[in-house]
Structure 1
Amino acid sequence: MDYDRQPYRRCGRSGLLLPAVSLGLWHNFGEGKPVETQRAILHKALDLGITHFDIADRYGPPFGAAESAFGRIFPKSLRDEVVVTTKGFNPMWDGPYGYGGSRKHLLATLDRSRARLGLDFVDIFYLHRDDEETPLEETAATLDHMVRTGRTLYVGVSNFSPERTAAIARLLRGLGTPLLVHQPSYSLLNRGIEDALLDVLEQEGVGCVVYSPLAQGLLTDRYLDGIPADSRAAEGRFLTPDRVTPQVLAFVRALSAIATARGQSVAQLALAWALRDPRITSVLVGASSPEQLEANVACVDRLDFTDDELTAIEQAAKEAGISA
């Protein structure tokens, strides 16, 4: 493992460091994916100093398959050198206890995740999204219980509003189990967390690990000449053709010119841009090949931006009609 390949950033006001670029197992781990490719991606991640692997109980397909694949492939001798995360909330089995933020569901789904992963504990357990039908006090007490019973070292939330993030952070702090991290979506095409959430995280001392920093592949050169037949947009898989608009393509072309002048690809520029804010702990990237992962991690070779570059990016978004 090359610990010098990329920087490690402190997660909020905790003692935990995470790599600037982390690996998410959302799309490319599970049944139907060649085991050899999954193993090669995982080993390349370790070679690139990626110590943080982001999973969820629903990742696959089918549900649970990404956790099972990771559990089979990951070399257990490196357990103390990595951070393994998973999430709970979404429907996982039939019946009233198969989903949600209740104590009943969350403890059961985490225990099932640990079994699939082959781990006694995970490093971070996230509540995947907010459950406004369950009292926040119950959910916070459950997260605290998970830490105290050794099921997880840290807890986090994902897709929470700024107000609900502040509320659960206060509840957890009162219980003695600080909220470690929030995981929102963030990219040059989705800047909503700049309005209030990042300020809340800074005030509460919570880290921020962002997903979809490449906007499901829109912030790459993948669609500049049309929608490829084998692309995510063509398949309607988490990205639909209607999102590949002339405005988006005009913006990406402008970004491409800025990236070329910086010696980067569009994807590398987009990742570096997301990391420009010190409140962002890490960006999550997926990878369909070791080569793609290596190219994405290379964003760390140029993380600095001049004022002129940032101005040019903002101007390109304005001219293309891209809303933050």
Structure 2
Amino acid sequence: MKKGYDLRICTWNVRTLNWEGASIQLADALEKLKADITAIQEMRWTGQGCSKRANCDIYYSCHAERREFGCGFVVSRRLRHHVSNFTPVSERLATIRVKARFFNLSIICAHAPTEEKDDAAKDAFYARLEDTYDRCPNHDVKIILGDFNARLIDFAAARNMVVSSTRFRHLDIHKATWLSPDQKTRNQIDHVVIDGRHASSVMDVRTFRGVNIDSDHYLVAAKIRMRLCRAKNVRPITQRKLDVTRLRSQRTATAYSTHLSELLYQPTPLPVDAGGLWAHISHSMRAAAKTAIGFKRPPTRNQWYDEECRVAAAAKNAAYRRTLQSGATRATCERYREKRKERGGF
């Protein structure tokens, strides 16, 4: 990473990631946008963990059984080696910690209950958010991203935090983060909140309407000035697995025994200490197996998301962009709905 690196940190309520095709579209869209870390809400996956992709890592904290809510992070390959740990809290809260030069980043993904929920649910959420915030190291740059309700202001004021998503002057179309189903009402409910002592590090926050994942929320992106530490892009060395099923063949088993005997009882002097002797036996067994048995082939991935799916997704996104233009008619919106229905919404 170069010095003075500007991070693009985003938040997005996606709502449709229970389908594999939607997550592929999301990863491709964020890569084009050059998003470094994106907090996502309403993933609707199950369980907790990390799904590693070629162009990103998806960390998720979801309900153990039901496909509802769920939150997490999409980390680009440029930053995947800077992630020190991920902490799933609940289907509405998760944290990730990123290594930096002077101050590490503790980023919280939050999905608050809507205003229609009862007070007990909202009180429980903000109590857990406070506990999650307090567990972050004091010297870290603390950032909260997500879908909030009106009580966010009280929480931010109590913690001396700044709602950065309302500080920058932009056109109204670059402020709203949510669009009602009737295409008439827009609101700003997705926010970027940072602790006050590092508020000057946020260079800009705005909405990107053109990025489409069939959600009624727009993607919100913040540019943050942050100097990162050097990270060695070293891939972990994974040992290839031997295809031991081939030993069922008598011919393969005989070949393995022959090679192993030749290596074990070669004329060179054997080590006298136990450690050296075991190293010789282990190396001989591995070398004989490599020659006679061979390794397993890597499993082939499901390639159902083919070029036809990508063409359909491109046509759908083109129809979506036409709905964003001024003077868009009802027929334009209807054509976009038809494109969403094709091939299961992809």
TM bracket, shorter-chain basis = 0.3 to 0.5
Q: Which has the higher strand share?
A: 2
- Normalising by structure 2, what TM-score? 0.35
Q: Which has the higher helix share?
A: 1
Return the index of the structure with the highest Cα Rg: 2
